[in-house]
């Protein structure tokens, strides 16, 4: 156990005026969110990399929507865990706080976080392939093929797929927070998917104290000031100083 590290991080958090957090799939692991790569990662013999692409959607939108319906059904039953709620408590203590997430599961918002930058979109939003309108849609299952109530064109998930660029305003909001924060927490991300993989180094370069929470070492581990080894749902409440 890394108790010295936890004390140090708690003290730094007390002093910090601006805090940013970057989360990945690991923060949702203890809510039961299935990973892409682990057991159960296949759906009808397709891998996520074969479904979450603009090419797959152009070829067979009903197939891709079928997969999203399966994921929506799974996520609809899940709840935020103590890592999500501890981050919401931390936000409540700070005037300047930004939570940057790669997750599309919306569990941070359910856990009470408000200032969220969703790098990869949100599974409960749809976007029109015709007029570009973005809407919340919580139907489980969504009727296939879903169409826009404004222009009638096909709707797609409001999610950044493999091979697609992130939205400029989303990237800008993330980097602004990384550059102004005194402290960055990097939680449950493998640090291999860009641009999130460069964000710990960006914050560090801009002068922040950077802390990683993960069950194992990642490429970020060599960059950070403090590595806390453990499960997010256990370690984040300890760091933040809230009861689980
Ligand atoms: P990843 O699956 O590549 O890495 C997850 C990281 O979490 C690993 O480093 C692992 O060691 C760590 N981890 C696992 N369990 C943990 C726990 N209990 N506590 C702390 N850490 C734990 O995920 P990523 O870095 O987010 O990148 C994967 C990509 O897949 C992203 O683009 C993301 O959008 C997408 N994705 C999203 C979800 C979701 O919305 N919840 C789920 C799967 C994949
Ligand atoms: Zn439309």
Q: Please give the Cα distance from 63 to 180 (Å, whole number).
A: 43
Q: Which of 22, 26, 221, 236 to mutate to test the pocket of ligand 1 (most atoms within 8 A of CB)?
A: 26
Mean pLDDT (the chain) is: 95
The whole-number pLDDT of residue 232 equals: 98
Mean pLDDT across the stretch 114-123? 98
Distance between CA atoms of residues 106 and 74, nearest Å = 13
- For the CA of 216, the nearest ligand: 1
**Measuring CA to CA, which residue among 241, 215, 244 is closest to residue 227?**
215
Contact 140, 69 (CB under 8 A): yes
**pLDDT tens digits along 4-31:** 799 999 999 999 999 999 999 999 999 9
DSSP helix/strand/coil, 17: coil
Rg (CA), the chain: 18
Ligand 1 within 6 A of CB of 29: yes
Q: Which helix (H) or strand (E) holds 118?
A: strand 116-118
Q: What is the DSSP letter of 29?
A: G
Tens of pLDDT, residue by residue over 44-102, are 889 999 999 999 999 999 999 999 999 999 999 999 999 999 999 999 999 999 999 99
pLDDT exceeding 90 applies to what percent of the chain? 89
- Sign of torsion, CA 141 145 150 156? positive
Active site residue 120: yes
pLDDT at residue 40 in the model: 64
Is the CB of 169 within 6 Å of ligand 1? no
| pLDDT tens track for 143-162 | 999 999 999 999 999 999 99
Of the ligands numbered here, which is closest to the C-alpha atom of 126? 2
10 Å Cβ neighbour count for 15?
Answer: 9
User: Tell me, what's the pLDDT at 187?
Assistant: 98
Mutate to test the pocket of ligand 1, among 22, 23, 25 (most ligand atoms within 8 A of CB): 25
Length, in residues, of the chain: 244
Q: Give the other-Cβ count within 10 Å of 25's Cβ.
A: 21
């Amino acid at each position: 156990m890394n108790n010295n590290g936890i004390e140090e991080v708690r003290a730094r958090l007390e002093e910090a005026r601006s805090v940013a957090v970057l989360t990945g799939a690991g923060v949702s692991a203890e809510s039961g969110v299935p990973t892409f790569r682990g057991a159960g990662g296949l759906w009808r013999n397709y891998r996520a990399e074969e479904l979450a692409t603009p090419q797959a959607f152009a070829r067979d939108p009903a197939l891709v929507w079928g997969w999203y319906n399966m994921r929506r059904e799974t996520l609809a039953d899940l709840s935020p865990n103590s890592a999500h709620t501890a981050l919401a408590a931390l936000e409540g203590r700070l005037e300047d706080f930004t939570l940057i997430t790669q997750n599309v599961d919306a569990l941070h918002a359910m856990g009470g976080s408000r200032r969220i930058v969703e790098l990869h979109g949100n599974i409960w939003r749809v976007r029109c392939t015709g007029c570009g309108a973005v809407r919340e849609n919580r139907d489980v299952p969504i009727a296939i093929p879903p169409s826009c109530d404004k222009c009638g064109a096909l709707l797609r998930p409001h999610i950044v797929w493999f091979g697609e660029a992130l939205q400029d305003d989303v990237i800008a909001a993330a980097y602004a927070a990384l550059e102004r924060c005194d402290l960055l927490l990097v939680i449950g991300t493998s640090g291999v998917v860009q641009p999130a993989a460069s964000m710990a180094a960006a914050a560090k370069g801009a002068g922040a104290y950077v802390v990683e929470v993960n069950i194992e070492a990642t490429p970020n581990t060599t960059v950070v000031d403090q590595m806390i080894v453990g499960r997010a749902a256990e370690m984040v409440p300890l760091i933040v100083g809230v009861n689980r």
